[in-house]
Amino acid sequence: MYVNQIYLSNFRNYKKGLVKFSKETNVIYGANAKGKTNILEAICIMSTARSHRGAKEEELINIESVSSKIGVEFYSQGRENRGVIEFNRNKKRRIKINNVPIEKTSRLMGYLNSVIFCPEDLKLIKGSPKERRRMIDLGICQLRQKYFTALSEYYKILEQRNRLLKDNPQSEMLWVWSEKLCISGADIIWFRHSYMNKLAIHAKSIVKEICNENLQIEYDCGFEVNDFNDKEGIKNSFLEELKKCKEREIRFGMSLLGPHRDDFRIILNGTDAKQYASQGQQRTIALALKMAEVKLIEEDKGEMPVLLLDDVLSELDEKRREYVLKNIKNIQVIITCTDKDLFGQIPHVNLINVDEIKQEG
Ligand SMILES: Nc1ncnc2c1ncn2[C@@H]1O[C@H](COP(=O)(O)OP(=O)(O)OP(=O)(O)O)[C@@H](O)[C@H]1O
Ligand SMILES: [Mg+2]
């Protein structure tokens, strides 16, 4: 799949903007704070309905405007598609694909798949579990609409249960909400385990290829599970563990166990990468995770996603950059950078000057 063009209206720093892309490598270049990342962000929003930077909707609207619009023309699933998302300060956002309104956000997932690699990802290994969960969630949501729905459901239940733990922990209802949490949580755990297993295999072989080191990634849901294929079993184990931490949960007034606390272990050459990996090793693992995501999407959908590289190539050393450049042959890539000379050696590169995207008025 690939993006043909994107137009923006009152999105971030663009009053009006239009960018046309080639199917191969595109490089958006220009000085800092000109709006390069904003373009990639708009593409991410079209694929996952949210900002990869975790921005709130109001931040996406130009400060001088009340609404903003992103329009993306892209090719996927054997046809040309046109997606439009409108944000409004006072109303709910509106999404349309091929002129048909999308009422449930989950329905947007899978139209346009993208993988973004940005400087923040270089901190993924030693950063907080929340960042790693975000990465997995965005990855799975793009492949499974059901996961998006299950995740929203889980967080709604979690909120209710937390409120009860805080306001009325002795209520009979706590048991009901615990049961709901475990049923919904088991669903999430099942999806995440299956996704992480596949991601781990690809990431392992990428790390081996780049630097001949041994990477293991293990999903950790916070309690023992005998068989991850058995949802009922996961639910029962979750419920058992939850009973054990009841007193603590009441003391803290919140749910202490479940997918909202999940993480994955990253083990490089037998030791915990979160503690021991060097800067370079962390970068290799982050890169491998992203490139593994690309491979997973290709495997699952039979189509390459759009790869968005936000100013990261300059942060990688020669060997890692070479790996990336070697692996961006049959895929549309949109790269941002301040120094376009870095990309002189790539054939057929479409150079886009960020100053020419912006059309005032
Ligand atoms: N809602 C908004 N309204 C107006 N301007 C905004 C809004 N949100 C962000 N901006 C502006 O967008 C610019 C940042 O854009 P972006 O992050 O895309 O820059 P960049 O070209 O990627 O820069 P760098 O090279 O430093 O990463 C800043 O000038 C910022 O003030
Ligand atoms: Mg940027």
CATH label of the domain that carries residue 232: 1.20.1050.90
CATH label of the domain that carries residue 26: 3.40.50.300
In ligand 1, the atom with minimum distance to the C-alpha of 58 is 1
Owning domain of residue 181 = 126-300
Summarize the confidence of residues 85-106 as an average pLDDT: 96
Considering the domain architecture, whether residues 52 and 174 belong to the same structural domain is answered as no
Considering the domain architecture, whether residues 101 and 42 belong to the same structural domain is answered as yes
Distance CA 160, CA 124 (A): 30
pLDDT at 361 > cutoff 50: no
- The per-residue pLDDT for 359 is 65
Judge whether 256 lies within some domain: yes
Summarize the confidence of residues 262-289 as an average pLDDT: 95
Look up the pTM and report it: 0.95
Helical pair 231-244 and 173-211, crossing angle rounded to 10 deg: 110
Q: Which of 300, 316, 346 is the last residue of a domain?
A: 300
- 56 pocket-lining for ligand 1 (C-beta < 6 Å): no
Site to probe by mutation for ligand 1, drawn from 6, 8, 10, 12 as the one with most ligand atoms within 8 Å of Cβ, is 12
- The per-residue pLDDT for 346 is 77
Considering the domain architecture, whether residues 131 and 257 belong to the same structural domain is answered as yes
Distance CA 64, CA 233 (A): 53
Express each pLDDT in 89-98 by its tens digit: 999 999 999 9
Q: How far is the CA of 34 from the centre of ligand 1 (A)?
A: 6
Judge whether 121 lies within some domain: no
Considering the domain architecture, whether residues 135 and 268 belong to the same structural domain is answered as yes
Site to probe by mutation for ligand 1, drawn from 10, 15, 37 as the one with most ligand atoms within 8 Å of Cβ, is 37
Judge whether 182 lies within some domain: yes
Q: How far is the CA of 8 from the centre of ligand 1 (A)?
A: 14
- The per-residue pLDDT for 360 is 56
Site to probe by mutation for ligand 1, drawn from 6, 36, 53 as the one with most ligand atoms within 8 Å of Cβ, is 36
- 35 pocket-lining for ligand 1 (C-beta < 6 Å): yes
Considering the domain architecture, whether residues 98 and 138 belong to the same structural domain is answered as no
Considering the domain architecture, whether residues 102 and 140 belong to the same structural domain is answered as no
Our count of domains for the chain comes to 2
- Please state, rounded to an integer, the average pLDDT across all residues of the chain: 94
Judge whether 324 lies within some domain: yes
Considering the domain architecture, whether residues 136 and 263 belong to the same structural domain is answered as yes
Closest CA to 40 of 266, 336, 279: 336
Considering the domain architecture, whether residues 262 and 336 belong to the same structural domain is answered as no
User: Strand pairing partners for 86?
Assistant: 69, 94
E strand intervals along the chain: 2-11, 14-20, 25-29, 67-76, 79-88, 94-97, 100-101, 114-117, 215-220, 263-268, 271-272, 306-310, 333-337, 350-353
Considering the domain architecture, whether residues 225 and 352 belong to the same structural domain is answered as no
Q: Which of 254, 283, 300 is the last residue of a domain?
A: 300
Model confidence at 314, in pLDDT bands (50, 70, 90)? confident
Judge whether 118 lies within some domain: no
φ, ψ for residue 114, nearest 5 deg: -140, 155
- As given in the structure block, the two tokens for residue 202 are 């690809």
- Which 8-state DSSP code applies to residue 135? H
Considering the domain architecture, whether residues 181 and 265 belong to the same structural domain is answered as yes
- 132 pocket-lining for ligand 1 (C-beta < 6 Å): no
Q: What is the per-residue DSSP string for 21-77?
A: --SSEEEEE-STTSSHHHHHHHHHHHHHSS-TT---HHHHB-TT-SEEEEEEEEEET
Considering the domain architecture, whether residues 82 and 22 belong to the same structural domain is answered as yes
Ligand nearest to the CA of 10: 1
In ligand 1, the atom with minimum distance to the C-alpha of 30 is 21
Residue 11, helix vs strand vs coil? strand
Q: Which of 300, 328, 350 is the last residue of a domain?
A: 300
Considering the domain architecture, whether residues 258 and 178 belong to the same structural domain is answered as yes
